[in-house]
Amino acid sequence: MQRVAAADVQAYNELVHSHLSSIHGFAYRLLGQQQEAEEVTQETFLRAWQRANTYEPRARVSTWLHAICHNLAIDRLRKRKEHANPELVDLAPDSAEPQHLLERKRTAESVQSALDRLAPRQREAVVLVHYQGLSNPEAAEVLGVGVEAVESLLARARRSLKKALVTEVHAPGYNGVQQNARERT
């Protein structure tokens, strides 16, 4: 980051290659729209380039980038006033596909639907810790709360998810989620 702060373009390129996919995934999971996710990703790296000298080594670079991206995404969501449903790209069932792929898509749709129903802060905590691989203290830093608050958010989120997905498993006409999960363990 010191090299990026010194306007070293090569160091900036390395930063992009290391974190672009993760930051884009994070933006997408928060915003649920491909175009907005790309815009926020660009804006995140623009700020990282322009404000690299404000980075403090006490945090990992990844945590710092997530914090920038989170702030930008939250601004967008506030302007939107409400969370949009993710586009669920490539999740729509296709009758020409094999049965196991259809089941997997249905499972993914169910999980995404359960994630969408979470309270925004709970979803952000799950995304940061489960999908982005941040530790609880790092997620707390990104969200601007204490570690205990993050643990509380995660506990409520996971309980809701288990309840929702187990409920769907036992609903009439549904038998895919838990079976697929077991197949992949």
Tell me if residue 61 falls in helix, strand or coil.
Answer: helix
Least distance (Å) from other proteins to the CB of residue 116? 11
Residue nearer to other proteins on the CB measure, 7 or 81: 7
Q: Which residues of 113-145 are buried (b: 16+ CB within 10 A; e: fewer)?
A: ebbeebeebbbbbbbbbbebebebebbbbbbee
Q: Which tokens is 147 given?
A: 């570690």
Q: x/- string (CB under 8 A) for other proteins, residues 11-40?
A: -xx--x---xx--xx--xx----x--xx--
**CA angle 58-60-65, nearest 5°?**
120
- Report the residue from 61, 102, 108, 145 that binds other proteins according to the rule CB under 8 A: 108
- Report the residue from 65, 69, 72, 126 that binds other proteins according to the rule CB under 8 A: 126
**Cα(36)–Cα(44) distance, integer angstroms:** 12
**Cα(168)–Cα(2) distance, integer angstroms:** 50
Q: Which of residues 164-183 bind other proteins (CB under 8 A)?
A: 165, 177-178, 180-182
Establish if 85 lies at the interface with other proteins (CB under 8 A).
no
Give how far the C-alpha of residue 183 lies from the chain's centroid of Cα atoms, to the nearest Å. 24
Q: Which residues bind other proteins (CB under 8 A)?
A: 6-7, 9, 12-13, 16, 20-21, 24-25, 28-29, 34, 37-38, 41-42, 45-46, 49-50, 53, 89-90, 104, 107-108, 111-112, 115, 126, 129-131, 135-136, 151-152, 154-156, 158-159, 161-162, 165, 177-178, 180-182, 184-185
